[in-house]
Amino acid sequence: MREEIISTKNEAMAQIMEADSSSELEELRISYLGRSGKLTSQIKRLKEIPQDVRKEMGLLINDSKNSIEKALAEQKNRIGEAAREWFDPTMPGIGPKKGHLHLVTQAIEEISRTFAQIGFVRVRYPEVEWDWFAFESLNMPKGHPARDVWETFFVDAPIHPKYGQIALTPHTSSGQVREMNRVKTPPIRMINIAKCYRRQIDASHVPMFHQFEGLVIDKGISIAHLKGTLDYFARNFFGPQRKTRLRPSHFQFTEPSFEVDITCGICKGAGCKVCKSGWLELGGAGMVHPTVFKNGGIDPSKYSGFAFGWGVERTFMMKSGLEIPDIRLLYSSDLGFLKQF
Amino acid sequence: MDIKVSDIWLRDYLKTRATVNDVAKYLSLCGPSVEKVEEGNVYSIEVTTNRVDTASIYGIAREAAAILPQFGIKARLQPVKLPTLNFVDKVKYVSASINHSLCSRFTAVLIRNVSLKDSPNWMKERLSAVGVRPINNVVDISNYIMHELGQPVHTFDYDKILKGKMVLRESRKGERLTTLDGKTHTLPGGDIVIEDGKGKLIDLAGIMGGQNSAVDEKTKNVLLFVQTYNPVNIRTTSMSLAQRTEAAVLFEKGLDPELVTLGIGRGIELFVKLTNGRPESQILDIYPAPYKAKKVEINTDFITERLGVELRKDKITQILRSLGFETYWKGKALEILIPSYRAEDISIPEDIVEEVARLYGYHNLPSILMEGALPEPLKDTPFRFEEKIKNVLKGFGGIEVYTFSLVAEEEAPTGLKLKNPLGKESEYLRTSLSPSLVMAARQNAGEKEPFHLFEMANVYIARKGDLPNEKMMLGGIFANTSYREAKGVVEGFINELNVKSEMFSDDGAHYLPNRHIYIKVKGRILGEFGELSQGHLYYEFDVEALRAFSKEIGSFRPSPKYPAQIEDVTLTFAARTKIGEVIDFVLSKEKLVSRMELTDIYKDSYTFRLWYQHPTKTLGNKEVEEIRKRILAGIKEKFGGIVKS
């Protein structure tokens, strides 16, 4: 049988060398390696031969088969380009229809994920809210000059004897007392993300935008914990090298109050053309004011806490380094813009 | 409020070798924020509403003198040098009757024989640097003192105040007064005003002087006037008359009555120097309740707990003293006396924590994450479901938009109205997403390719005597898309959410007749789909209703063991046949048809693909033929459809 195998192989090799078209090569492939090809029928006969030589013959056939396949491929490459079956692999693909999530959605998802990792519970509170929750319970009585910062829309509706006017929430801080009312007994680790409204419109302000508010209340909560939380957020959201710092500020509902800065992503805090000082302003924060605790039904002699509330759009743009010259673009429905993200 | 402080002026009171950059940097870290340093070394500083004591050159100097040494830079506050002042509660040249609840301190002094002229250059330059236009020496002195000390000062032409008599009182509603800028105001009532001996109003106190008593080029004798007014009255008047003068912005934050001493002293000194005026030796000073130092108590444990780090007692003492507080220790307890200029801001131990912490430096505090128990997670929150919806639609090629919730009246006729809208086109809170999405689609009218925009947002449904119902809605709009393609997206979306729903065609408001479908589960409407009267294919869903009927994971059904026989059948139907009903009919009648799809339409011919399948055996050709016969007979009888020959 050995001679037979070797001669079949030699015969095949000779014929392959002489072939000059791919159809001829295909015929040769079938006549040797096809279902009833010469080599295939030899494989079938293997089981008829004695056990002691079967393995050797098997290996020999396999070897021949490999040689023939290799020769077929080589010859195929050798015969001219014209004789090949034409195929253009450079043709562009047909893409699937691509959808897009809005930048604000992407930002909200990422912010909630980051805070969820350290045990913050996401909540949702009214976007159209009583004055009591938006201002009064936050230590801002009617007519207080501190209210000026929040250019607030009010709803033309009767005034509630206890809760006052109806306002479009100018900040997510209106969820603080709501959350205290809900939880009653700390610990609280809240993240409240919502639409906010203010009476202003220009390249860097829109009347509707989004904020996220963090609130932590427990026994023994200190400024160090606020710093820890902000640094955690900065590292995980903005990148491992980023750091935050606190500067003095003033809000009626926190004492002390802070402005939070983050090191510039470009110069890493050294100072450059974009940031000037090495720092960029993130937003406000502070230790919860005892009056707010009282209004939320929590005893400030037992518990302390901190809060922060920042713009979703601004925070996300600072992360991504996107330079969107006019924030109003975010709220336009221009496909050319939306499809970029 | 933002103030401007020129460095050269600052150094009259701040004795230090710190550079301009040092001052800017360290003030920002521990005190008022220096937003930028402008040309000519002018600091632009943001002063928060609680720190009106720093809204001046002198106030910033006092703050910097406390802060810079924390960074190892020597600095000292140079106190204001004053002439000898003789305060008395009655004088001959003016008699005043004061309502003390409106004015906690009232001072005035007559300065005779002033000569009006240009101010000297150094004063003009300093005023210009902080954004004040120099006018003449008398006006400039007032402005100079206000910027230097943060204390507004007023000057009357003494000879225009009849009988040298003044009555400071609340205005009555409807009284009229013309201010220096020529504007005539009809007063709302409750405003602080001063009338002269003839009952004529001569001053809208704390906001702007009256025209009838103003200093002019003929003025010989000036009444220099320095007061502390009730901040609430000032703010109310200033807001309701929209007269937001610098004086009003200062007074409304509650000024320190002790500052009046510096104000009138500086005034006398400058008038002598710049106008050659001769001040009366006695100064009228009506100050019935002089400042008594306020006390706040605190102990070191409280400070340690809030800071997260323990500070030594001597460090706490040093910080508080540098800020002008007096400190008295009893063991761990500390009694603190608050200086008059901080009395409005400091009342509780938390306020002291802020002072200690900011001067110690927030950057020097440790940064650690909380320990302790985690809060209970909220059950049944909508957030994951909402995220899933958005991702499903994105997967189907949807493009998410965010549009404004504020719309015009005709777009939300039952919606809540704003009291103070920005304009007519954003006066109402929307009750449906469709007007906004129609606008969004129109904004892209130039686009020739198919597109699908969607938005998820609250709509606000008014409720009587309560906040509106905030309903989370999902809306989507298609352009350049056929009815079947759009409906396919809606169907695919519902399937992806595992909502077992049914569709009912029925006319809907705002939709073209016959082109509207409700999506229902057990009689409850989850949403709708159809062609809007404006011509767009649109869908809207109640997200909470969808969530109520959506299964997170589809139910398990074993895959069929026996293969289906698949065949295409083409039928012709008369016009106005509802093909959806034909398919529903077959699927509900014939249990052995596991699936039926419309694969092609040509004129009145509809090609369906049918899957014949038995749960426990492979169907033979004969059995399939029987089923097919039954189906075709049924379709012919009910819908008049016949097999295309």
Minimum-distance CB partner of B420 among A128, A153, A247: A153
Peptide bond into A187 cis (omega under 30): yes
Lowest mean pLDDT, pick from B115-119, B478-482, B553-557:
B553-557
List the alpha helices (DSSP H) in B95-167: 121-129, 137-149
CB contact under 8 Å between A207 and B418, yes or no, is no
A158 touches chain B (CB under 8 A): yes
Most confident of A39-48, B127-136, B613-622: B127-136
Decide if A231 touches B, using CB distance below 8 A: yes
Position A271 scores a pLDDT of 79
Residues B121 and B246 in one domain: yes
**B523 Cα to chain A: minimum distance (Å):** 29
Q: How many residues does chain A have?
A: 341
Q: Is the distance from CB of B24 to CB of B119 less than 8 angstroms?
A: no
| Predicted pLDDT at A80 | 67
CA distance B353 to B367: 17
Q: Which residues of B touch A187 (CB under 8 A)?
A: 372-375
On whether both B97 and B229 belong to a single domain, the answer is yes
At which residue do the structure tokens 């004591």 appear?
Answer: B53
Smallest Cα distance from B329 to chain A, Å: 22
pLDDT at B411: 94
How close, in Å, is residue B71 to chain A by CA atoms?
15
Domain match, B524 and B583 both: no
Question: Cβ distance B402 to B440 under 8 Å?
Answer: no
| B173 burial level (CB within 10 Å; 0-12, 13-18, 19+) | exposed
Backbone angles phi and psi of B14, in degrees to 5: -110, 110
CA distance B237 to B241: 6
- Chains A and B: how many Cβ contacts under 8 Å? 227
Listed by number, the residues of chain A in 271-310 with a beta carbon closer than 8 Å to a beta carbon of chain B are 277, 287, 289-290, 304
At B299 the pLDDT is 94
Q: What is the C-alpha separation between B311 and B358, in angstroms, rounded? A: 13
**For testing contact with chain A, the best of B26, B299, B306, B428 (most A CBs within 10 A):** B306
Query: Is A219 an interface residue toward B (CB < 8 Å)?
Result: yes
In this structure, are B309 and B337 located in the same domain? yes
Rounded to a whole number of angstroms, the distance from the CA of B386 to the nearest CA of chain A is 10
Q: Say if B435 falls within a structural domain.
A: yes
Residue where one domain finishes, among candidates B26, B50, B77: B77
| pLDDT score of A214 | 97
Contact B399 A338 (CB under 8 A): yes
Q: What does the pLDDT average to over A277-296?
A: 93
Residues 6+ apart with CB under 8 A from B591: none
B309 lies in the same domain as B392: no
Percent of chain B with pLDDT over 90: 90
Are A171 and A209 in contact by the 8 Å Cβ rule? The answer is: no
For residue B16, the surrounding DSSP H or E stretch is strand B14-16
Backbone φ/ψ region at A327: left (φ over 0), alpha (ψ -120 to 50), beta:
alpha
CA distance A129 to chain B (A): 7
Which tokens belong to B492?
């695919």
For residue A1, give the amino acid letter: M
* Structure confidence by residue, pLDDT tens digits, B406-418: 999 999 999 999 9
What residues of chain A lie within 8 A of the CB of B443, using their CB? 332-334
In this predicted structure, what is the pLDDT of residue B67? 98
Beta bridge partners of B380: none
CA angle B565, B568, B571 (to 5 degrees): 135
Q: What is the CATH number of the domain that holds B33?
A: 3.30.56.10
**Pair (B575, B538) in one structural domain:** no
CATH number (domain holding residue B616): 3.30.70.380
Q: What do you get for the CA distance between the two ends of chain B, in Å?
A: 86
Predicted TM-score (pTM) of the model is 0.86
Residue closest to A178 by CA, chosen among A301, A284, A289, A298: A298
Is A277 a residue whose pLDDT tops 80?
Answer: no
Assigned domain for B372 exists: no
CATH number assigned to the domain comprising residue B280: 3.50.40.10
Asked, for residue B555, whether it belongs to a domain, the answer is no
- B217 and B148, same structural domain? yes
- B528 and B401: one domain? yes
Long-range contacts of A21-26 (CB under 8 A, 24+ apart): A21/A79, A21/A83, A22/A76, A22/A79, A22/A83, A22/A84, A22/A85, A25/A72, A25/A75, A25/A76, A25/A79
Contact between residue A254 and residue A291 where contact means Cβ atoms under 8 Å apart: no
Interchain pair B400, A102: CB under 8 A: yes
- Could you tell me the pLDDT band of residue B129, with boundaries at 50, 70 and 90? very high
- The reported pLDDT for the residue numbered B224 is 96
**Are the C-beta atoms of residues B90 and B283 closer than 8 Å to each other?**
no
Report the alpha-carbon distance of residue B634 to residue B641 in Å, rounded: 9
Per-residue pLDDT, A47: 82
In this predicted structure, what is the pLDDT of residue B379?
Answer: 85
Residue-level pLDDT at A84: 65
pLDDT at B387 > cutoff 90: yes
Evaluate whether residue B317 is within a structural domain: yes
Please name the residues between 20 and 39 in chain A that touch chain B, using a CB distance below 8 Å.
Answer: none
Q: What pLDDT is stored for residue A318 in this prediction?
A: 83
Q: What is the DSSP-derived secondary structure letter of residue B422?
A: S
What residues contact residue B114 under an 8 Å CB cut-off, 6+ apart?
Answer: B138, B219, B220, B221, B222, B271, B275, B276, B277
Mean pLDDT of chain B: 95
Chain B: closest CA distance from residue A35 (Å): 29
Rounded to 10°, the helix B383-395/A103-116 angle is: 140
B626 domain-assigned:
yes
The H or E element spanning position B476 is strand B469-479
Instruction: Read off the pLDDT band of B445 (50, 70, 90).
Output: very high
- The residue segments making up the domain with residue B111 are 86-286
- Answer yes or no: are the C-beta atoms of B35 and B48 closer than 8 Å: no
Domain boundary among B517, B549, B581: B549
The answer to whether B607 touches B596, Cβ cutoff 8 Å, is: no
The predicted structure's pLDDT at residue A81: 63
Pairing, β B451-461 against β B399-400: parallel
Tokens of B273: 């120097």
Question: pLDDT, tens digit, for every residue of B270-291?
Answer: 999 999 999 999 999 999 999 9
What the block records as the tokens of B531 is 């062609």
Residue the block writes with tokens 């938005």: B455
In this predicted structure, what is the pLDDT of residue A82?
58
Look at residue B558 and tell me if it is in a domain: no
Whether the predicted pLDDT of A48 surpasses 70:
yes
- Tell me, yes or no, whether B398 and B538 share the same domain: yes
Count of residues making up chain B: 645
Bond before A256 cis per omega within 30 degrees = yes
- Co-location of B298 and B282 in the same domain: no
Mapping DSSP onto H, E and C, the string for chain A reads: CHHHHHHHHHHHHHHHHHCCCHHHHHHHHHHHHCCCCHHHHHHHHHHHCCHHHHHHHHHHHHHHHHHHHHHHHHHHHHCCHHHCCCCCCCCCCCCCCCCECCHHHHHHHHHHHHHHCCCCEEECCCCEEEHHHHCHHHCCCCCCHHHHHCCCCEECCCCECCCECEEECCCHHHHHHHHHHHHCCCCEEEEEEEEEECCCCECCECCEEEEEEEEEEECCCCHHHHHHHHHHHHHHHHCCCCCEEEEEEEECCEEEEEEEEEECCCCCCCCCCCCCCCEEEEEEEEEECHHHHHHCCCCCCCCEEEEEEEEHHHHHHHHHCCCCCCHHHHHCCCHHHHCCC
- Buried/exposed B191-206: b ≥16 CB within 10 Å, e otherwise: bbbbbbeeeebbbbbb
The residue-averaged pLDDT of B30-42 equals 94
Residue B281 sits at φ, ψ, to 5 deg, of -75, -25
Interface contact flag, A189 B357, Cβ < 8 Å = no
A335 touches chain B (CB under 8 A): yes
How much is the pLDDT for A270?
80
Domain boundary among B77, B103, B123: B77
Buried b (16+ CB within 10 A) or exposed e, B461-492: ebeeeebbebbbbbbbbbbebeeeebbebbee
- Please name the member of B33, B444, B447 whose beta carbon is closest to the beta carbon of A247: B33
**Nearest CA among A43, A61, A75 for reference residue A7:** A61
What percent of chain B lies above the pLDDT cut of 70?
100
Q: Is residue B367 part of a domain?
A: no
Q: Is B480 found in the same domain as B351? A: no
Residues 6+ apart with CB under 8 A from B594: B560, B564, B611, B612, B613
For chain A, the C-alpha Rg in angstroms (whole number) is: 37
| Contacts with B147 (C-beta within 8 Å, 6 or more apart), sequence order | B3, B56, B57, B127, B130, B132
Instruction: Let me know whether B494 and B634 are in one domain.
Output: no
Long-range Cβ contacts of B479-483 (<8 Å, 24+ apart): B479/B441, B479/B444, B479/B447, B479/B450, B479/B451, B479/B452, B479/B536, B480/B447, B480/B448, B480/B449, B480/B450, B480/B451, B481/B450, B481/B451, B481/B452, B481/B537, B483/B515, B483/B531, B483/B537
Instruction: Give the total number of structural domains in chain B.
Output: 5
Task: With respect to residue B408, please indicate whether it lies within any of the assigned structural domains.
Answer: yes
- Bridge partners (DSSP) of residue B608 are B569, B598
Q: Which residue of A has its CA nearest to B460?
A: A128
Instruction: Tell me what pLDDT residue A202 has.
Output: 85
